[in-house]
A and B are shown apart, each in its own frame.
Chain A
Amino acid sequence: MPYHEFECSKCIPERKKHAVVKGHGEDLTSALPLGYLNTIPGTISERGCAYCGAKHVIGTPMKDVIHLSHGPLGCTYDTWQTKRYISDNDNFQIKYTFATDMKEKNVVFGAEKLLKQNILEAFKAFPKIKRMTIYQTCASALIGDDLNAIAAEVMEEMPEVDIFVCNSPGFGGPSQSGGHHKINIAWVNQKVGTLEPKEITSDYVINYVGEYNIQGDQEVMMDFFKRMGVQVLSTFTGNGTYDDLRCMHRAQLNVLECARSAEYICNELRVRYGIPRLDIDGFGFEPLGNSLRKIGLFFGIEDRAQAIIDEETARWKPELDWYKARLMHKKVCLWPGGSKLWHWAHVIHAEMGVDVVSVYTKFGHQGDMEKGISRCEEGALAIDDPNELEGLEAMETLEPDIIFTGKRPGEVAKKIRVPYLNAHAYHNGPWKGWEGWVRFARDIYNAIFSPIHELAKLDISKDEIPGDCGFKTQRMLSDANLPDEVRNDPTLRQYTGKFDCLKDLRGKTYPVFERKTAAAPAAAAV
């Protein structure tokens, strides 16, 4: 597995060990990209900062919380309305963001008074919201404001409110991952165990960790858990509530989805409360099915998981396979932030037929690369902390049919005529669950077989202009070289779900399972 040196980065020797090509007969001991090191200045890296890792990625999906950043307003503005982590309480966390608006005089004389005034104002503006998270920024960290002290003071004066403090300034760590770590640890230190659950409704109680409800992923998974009769005490943090997350210590099992952003809290809950950590994949038919089965096995209710697997597979497999038949050997650059390179690398190959020719991680650690490289096929190029020129060079060499990446790098790809899907926020998600996985395949199909790409490659000054057709459908492009038996396979069909597949989930009723043990009495006060 040789290290891969980019032409454009030959002048930066530090980059030499940040990319490898997965070779034949080699394993992780042959080569592994370096990871989670300080960004090289001037490379035009795609990384964000530790503040955004804490506030934007992990903190803000909590849905019933005033998210207040202590600093100048830019950090707040810039990380507002750039994500699709929705909630079932009308998206309070997406709609409202708060900044203390630190100015020069505050930098000189301190801004603790300003912070306190802000906290009081925010609670006053939203009298029904009683929970708050305060995020440190570069400026408030450097002037040394004591956020914890101010929070404690307010909680003393206003006993009905509760405030969480996250000290994760932008400079704190090589990438946003530093912020993931800090907010995980801060939450378990400050808040877990400070409240008891209102009600334990099931014999089977989990925390669902590292799930951010992108386009409703969490709600899709909740549907399965409810159908299994599993109580999800808290979700860390998508669509999750502050108080539920204070009760994490009462779960029997931590089900961990994104081990990049949230393994720290699982590890701490394991050490402090003896709750085991089960790493799962929520993406893909088989991985998701096996994940539910493992949860079922843990609790002795694997039959309930199997019932879901059978039902969902029967419903959606013909649709997934319709797309698979048409996506075979399409080349994918799987270029997400951290966890999706390994969540998706193998299963999109196995279940959608595409070939992953490259994986990268913007902010991941070597552990993410171990998983990503293990899960992709031989020949794939793995890149840590890629920069703009390396991305372009890789796309020019690998000639992918599509890339899965962020919004802005997606625009770079567009210009060299590579279609992109948003790996962070999705196109038309949710992409979790069986139906979600078909939606993902549908989005890939629609991206690759868009007639616009064919038109984009035509040079009307030089090329023959085909004047014989007035339009092309996606199927005219995707089915052109398919054998008849596949093209006309009566067992397969295109996606038949709705534009909004969440509506029916909200308000759905679920079976009541008999308890093995008598219902636990309401928990005593802490």
Chain B
Amino acid sequence: MDETKSNPEPLDEVTAGRLAQLEDYIMKNCLWQFHSRSWDRRVQNEGILSKTTQILCGEPVDTGTPLDRCHWADAVVMAEEFQRRCPWLTEMPKDEVKALMDALHKHLDYILIDGSLNLELTDQHY
């Protein structure tokens, strides 16, 4: 593996456990994170995770473009599932939610893009 692609900063045990729960849901139930090229995965991660964060924090979500709406649809379902499966999430202050989701985003970028062993991710052609 490329040494320059290191896993993000280690997290405390509680955060790591919570992050693992969210990650487990995504990896087992979602498909949006598995587009076939790095740039595409980055767009997906950014779009859907940021909208999920906004939903979890009760903030307005931009659904202006068709792509925004598509990301938002995935995000709505995911936010609901997070809340259903992780009761602690509903109690969590917004800034902590944001921090957790930010850590999740970084982690997913790492396992799905920067640390990925999928050799096709950087192929120039679909």
Contact = CB atoms under 8 A, between A and B. Distances in A.
Interface of A: 27-29, 31-32, 34-36, 181, 185, 252-253, 259, 263-264, 267-268, 274-281, 286-287, 290, 293-295, 297-298, 342, 346, 365-367, 370-371, 374-375
A328 B120 CA distance: 37
Contacts of A287: 29
Given A29-B7, A278-B74, A374-B27, 14 more contacts: A28-B117, A29-B1, A29-B115, A32-B118, A252-B66, A264-B126, A268-B126, A274-B66, A278-B73, A290-B29, A290-B77, A297-B69, A367-B36, A374-B28
B34 A370 contact: yes
B31 interface: yes
B72 interface: yes
B36 A294 contact: no
B27 A375 contact: yes
Contact of B111 (A27, A253, A267, A295): A27
Contacts of B116: 28-29, 32, 370
Contact of A278 (B70, B81, B120): B70
Nearest to A31: B117
A263 B77 CA distance: 22
A181 B36 CA distance: 13
Task: Report, nearest first, the 8 A-B pairs whose CB atoms are least far apart.
Answer: A276-B70, A279-B31, A29-B115, A374-B27, A32-B117, A297-B73, A294-B73, A366-B118
A366 B119 contact: yes
B34 A253 contact: no
Contact of A346 (B28, B34, B117): B28
B67 interface: yes
Interface in B68-123: 69-70, 72-74, 76-77, 81, 110-112, 115-120
Interface of B: 1, 7, 27-29, 31-32, 34-36, 40, 66-67, 69-70, 72-74, 76-77, 81, 110-112, 115-120, 126
Contacts of B73: 278, 293-295, 297-298
28 contacts: A28-B112, A28-B117, A28-B118, A29-B110, A32-B118, A34-B119, A252-B66, A274-B67, A276-B67, A279-B31, A279-B32, A279-B34, A280-B31, A281-B31, A286-B29, A287-B29, A294-B74, A297-B72, A297-B77, A298-B69, A298-B70, A365-B120, A366-B117, A366-B118, A367-B34, A367-B118, A370-B118, A371-B31
Nearest to A25: B20
A174 to B, nearest CB: 12
Nearest to A373: B27
A277 B70 contact: yes
A414 B35 CA distance: 37
Contacts of A281: 31
Contacts of A276: 66-67, 69-70
Most buried by B among A278, A280, A374: A374
B99 to A, nearest CB: 21
Main secondary structure of the interface of B (DSSP, over half): helix
Contacts of A32: 116-118
Contact of A294 (B77, B110, B126): B77
A302 to B, nearest CB: 8
Contacts of A286: 29
A346 B26 CA distance: 12
A36 B120 contact: yes
B77 A371 contact: no
Contacts of B70: 253, 276-278, 298
A268 B67 CA distance: 14
Contacts of B7: 29
B111 A263 contact: no
B66 to A, nearest CB: 5
Contact of B117 (A29, A263, A275, A279): A29
A277 B43 CA distance: 12
A295 B81 CA distance: 16
A253 B66 contact: yes
A264 B72 CA distance: 23
Contacts of B1: 29
A139 B72 CA distance: 49
A371 B35 CA distance: 10
Contacts of A27: 111
A151 B66 CA distance: 37
Contacts of B76: 294, 297
B29 A346 contact: yes
A261 to B, nearest CB: 13
Contacts of A274: 66-67
A367 B120 contact: yes
A276 B72 CA distance: 12
A365 to B, nearest CB: 6
Contacts of B29: 286-287, 290, 346
Nearest to A278: B70
A297 to B, nearest CB: 4
A281 B74 CA distance: 13
A293 B72 CA distance: 12
A204 B98 CA distance: 34
A77 to B, nearest CB: 32
